[in-house]
Amino acid sequence: MSIVLGPNQYGKAETRVVRVYRDTPRHEIRDLNVSTLLRGDFAAAHARGDQANVLPTDSQKNTCFAYAKQKGVGAIEDYALDLARHFVAGIGPVSGARIDVEEYRWERVSVDGRPHPHTFVRAGDDVRTTAVTAEDGGRAWVISGLDGLVVMKTTGSEFHGFLKDRYTTLAETTDRILATSLAARWRYRAWPPPDGWDAAHAAIRQILLERFAEVHSLALQQSLWEMGRAVLEARADVAEIRLSAPNRHHFLADLAPFGLDNPGEVFHAADRPYGLIQCAVQRDDDPAGEAGPAWSGPAAFA
């Protein structure tokens, strides 16, 4: 038996790249948080501190900025694919690269009802994401998604008929608030999407919102399944979708001591603990491959 180096990777995390397009008076912006991770032949760096194979993380950061000019920043998936392929093809010891990008949403400020050409206001809490992995030999994966899509239904949610054990005290209910901060990740099996990356993302976000609204929910599990299934039904280019949803509990305030009834009107929004419901919706002819990338981000390694 001996002690050996296992899986390892390194890169530059959270480079905040802002790209402005100012070719016309009506500016456009892309506001990104970019992380790079390289895999390859880095054993000597671990064993002896020999850096001959190690491209500095500072150079990776420089590449993120340079590519924002050289290649431009359109859809984050294209930008991440360019970067991932560059590191794999251009840096000898690198056999695989993962690029994670978050994009912040902005909308134009309206002045006298007209969108302003160069002034923007942050729109919405949710963040668009992509994780692109490329490997030697040309294989690549694109897993796009969103984080922090905060939604709430004030009715149309039930919870009853559940399994009861000796520690069960929860009352059943046929009408409750259902609230969550959704994280979603979906894997494209063909790209670019026929409608383009930006339109595809917007369409999937809208499907998730609409199905959350329309499904009469007997369980958050059911809502998630229906949301995921609707995405796969609508999008032949999506192989799989994974959903993670904290159940942000809203407890009915007990107003009886004060002589007041409370028919679903006044709630306490709790922070912790929260339920956590997670599921994948897949195609039976294209399950997530064993050799595929981790769905979670770079920080999840340890």
Active-site pick, 27, 57, 71, 153: 57
In the complex, what is the shortest distance from the CB of residue 285 to a second copy, in angstroms, rounded to a whole number?
Answer: 5
* Contact flag: residue 128 with a second copy (CB under 8 A): no
Look at the chain and count its residues.
Answer: 302
Binding track over 268-297 against a second copy, x by CB under 8 A: xxxxxxxxxxxxxxxxxxxxx-x---xxxx
Beta bridge partners of 262: none
Residue 169 backbone phi and psi in degrees, to 5? -125, -5
Q: What is the helix (H) or strand (E) element at residue 130, kind and residue range?
A: strand 127-135
Beta bridge partners of 31: 18
CA dihedral (237, 126, 63, 190) in degrees, to 10, reads 0
What residues from 60 to 89 belong to the interface with a second copy (CB under 8 A)?
60-63, 65-66, 68-70
What residues from 204 to 263 belong to the interface with a second copy (CB under 8 A)?
209-210, 212-214, 217-219, 221-222, 224-225, 229, 232-233, 240, 242-244, 246-247, 250, 253, 255, 257-258, 260, 262-263
In the complex, what is the shortest distance from the CB of residue 137 to a second copy, in angstroms, rounded to a whole number?
Answer: 21
Active-site pick, 61, 86, 201, 249: 249
What residues from 145 to 204 belong to the interface with a second copy (CB under 8 A)?
145, 149-156, 158-170, 177, 183-185
Distance, in Å, from the CA atom of 97 to the CA atom of 67, rounded to the nearest integer, reads 16
Distance, in Å, from the CA atom of 107 to the CA atom of 216, rounded to the nearest integer, reads 32
Looking at beta carbons only, is 91 or 97 nearer to a second copy? 91
In the complex, what is the shortest distance from the CB of residue 160 to a second copy, in angstroms, rounded to a whole number?
Answer: 7
Taking CB atoms within 8 Å and a gap of at least 24, the contacts of 267-272 are 267/177, 269/179
Q: Is 27 a catalytic residue?
A: no
Active site residues: 12, 57, 249
